[in-house]
Structures are given as structure tokens and as C-alpha cells.
Amino acid sequence: MRFTKMHGLGNDYVYVSTFDQPVPADPARLAVAVSDRHFGIGGDGLILIMPSERADARMRMFNADGSEGEMCGNGVRCVARYLHDHDLARKDRVTIETGRGILTLDLDVVAGKVRGVRVDMGAPILKSREIPTTLPGDPPVNAPLRVGDREFAVTAVSMGNPHAVIYVDDVAEFPLEELGPAIENHPAFPRRVNVHVVEVYDPGEVRMRTWERGSGITLACGTGACAVCVAGVLTGRSGRKIQAHLPGGDLELEWRDDDAPVFMTGPATEVFSGEWPD
């Protein structure tokens, strides 16, 4: 099986194109194997790049634990770059079918290679039952969530996948390794949740760290950064256009008004290609 390793701000996946080879028989099991950073290729999961009857390509993503996710913001940027640079859709605008629906991506192409990608991520989902969460509110804003002997004010947003945003004074000091899995699997989130802790520098600039559902701590989360942009508006902590500093680098986010989609702009990087034994 031929594969390509790519990352968006260090949020790395193993990409397999099925345009010219069969779909893996058991992608969930394959995701676990290839994601292992000691005995596999190493990554936060597996992403399949597949033909689509509705768009330039279809994307399926699997977390490192084998669970299938609805969407990956950093991953979809990498799929767009792959389509362009591997001559599957060599144009400045591509469409990709995802679990969130069909997304439109604009490519910044320099000297024939994609330098950055701007994604229309769609409008956020804010009804609690659709996120889904049992937290009160449509949307749940600063809703109380008790984890052990601690209580957090959580703002919940879905970008096709569920996110819990918590504002803190210092993201580096927050015990994400301990509390991330506890919040991810909290009964208030029936389909688990991605957890983000956020420190606000000013209305246009934030710093964040992420515990991703099914993968643990990652260097970046594109859908999570979009959720943070939305949560900042809902809580009055930041503006509609922000720069988010993630451990792997920076993303630009914009949510122009309440009924508008969230736009995300960031890089996509190809690392290497190889063959995985059947």
C-alpha cells in the first residue's frame, strides 16, 4: 500500500489515495497500526483520499485509536494540497466531500506548489442536541462542568465534530494530560469531545492547546481553532477575526457573522512517501 505522510502545523496523518489502489479492507485497524510512533509510520491517524461523485475527492479520517471522525481541519488542507500537487485536481479551488458535507478550499499556489490553504469550514453547529452535549443552552456558553473535584466553565461548539472550549489564565500550566481524557469521556458528551484550553492575549490573538478525541494531545487542531474563534465571540472574549497560536504553529480564523461559515487559513506540508506492507 502506497502512502504519503503529511501534516498541518504538526497535526500529522498517514494519507492513502484510493484513486489508484484499493480501499483498505479494515481502515480502523490500519489506522491503529500506521499511527504507532514506535512500530508504525507514526501519526495522529489515517486519512483516506477517495474518489467522489459529488466533489473533487472524498476524505475519510480515522483517529489513532481507530475511531472514525467526522472532520479534520488540518487534514482537509493536506488533502487539498495532495490533490493539487499529485495532479488529481490541479486547480486553485477544490471541493472535498467530508463527514461535515462538501467543503470548498482555496489554494495559495507558488511556483507550482501549494503554500497555504483557505477553507470554508461551514457554519458552526450550536444547538446542544446537535453538538451533541447535555450541557444547558443553545449554544452552551460558560456552562458548568464538574470533573472530579473541579468545575469548569465550558463553551461547546460543533464544527461537524464536537468541541469543548475552556478559558484559562495560562494554557501551559493546565494539566491537559490528566484532565483531557476525563473531559473527552465525560457523560455530558455522548460522542466524546475534543478539549481545548485557551488563553486570550487580546481580542485578535489567542493561544491554545488541544486534547483530541481518539488521539490525545496533538500539536494542532483545525476544527478546534475554528471552535475557539466561535467560542470567543459567544463569550465576548475575542473578536470575529483572530490569530490562534497552537503548539505546531499559527492559524488565521474568521467568523464574519452569526449565520456565516468559519474560514480557516493555514499551511499544509508533505513530509515523505513510502510503502506499507500488506
Looking at the structure, do residues 82 and 97 belong to the same domain, yes or no? Answer: yes
Separation between Cα atoms, residue 153 and residue 166, nearest integer Å: 6
Beta-strand relationship, 93-98 and 101-110:
antiparallel
Q: 111 pLDDT band (50/70/90 cuts)?
A: confident
- Residue range 74-79: mean pLDDT, rounded: 96
**Where in the sequence numbering do the catalytic residues fall?**
72, 221
Looking at the structure, do residues 10 and 95 belong to the same domain, yes or no? Answer: yes
CATH of residue 65: 3.10.310.10
The model's pTM is 0.91
Q: Residue 53 class from Cβ within 10 Å (0-12 exposed, 13-18 middle, 19+ buried)?
A: exposed
- Residue range 118-134: mean pLDDT, rounded: 97
Looking at the structure, do residues 20 and 142 belong to the same domain, yes or no? Answer: no
3-state helix, strand, coil split of the chain in percent (to 5) is 20, 45, 40
189-245 pLDDT, tens digit each: 999 999 999 999 999 999 999 999 999 999 999 999 999 999 999 999 999 999 999
Looking at the structure, do residues 118 and 203 belong to the same domain, yes or no? Answer: no
Looking at the structure, do residues 225 and 250 belong to the same domain, yes or no? Answer: yes
- Residue range 145-167: mean pLDDT, rounded: 97
Separation between Cα atoms, residue 154 and residue 150, nearest integer Å: 12
Whether the Cβ atoms of residue 68 and residue 79 lie closer than 8 Å to each other: no
Q: How many domains does the chain have?
A: 2
Looking at the structure, do residues 69 and 112 belong to the same domain, yes or no? Answer: yes
Q: What is the pLDDT of residue 133?
A: 98
Residue 138 is part of which domain span?
A: 128-260
Looking at the structure, do residues 112 and 146 belong to the same domain, yes or no? Answer: no
Looking at the structure, do residues 222 and 138 belong to the same domain, yes or no? Answer: yes
Q: What is the pLDDT of residue 100?
A: 87
Q: What is the pLDDT of residue 1?
A: 97
Looking at the structure, do residues 135 and 253 belong to the same domain, yes or no? Answer: yes
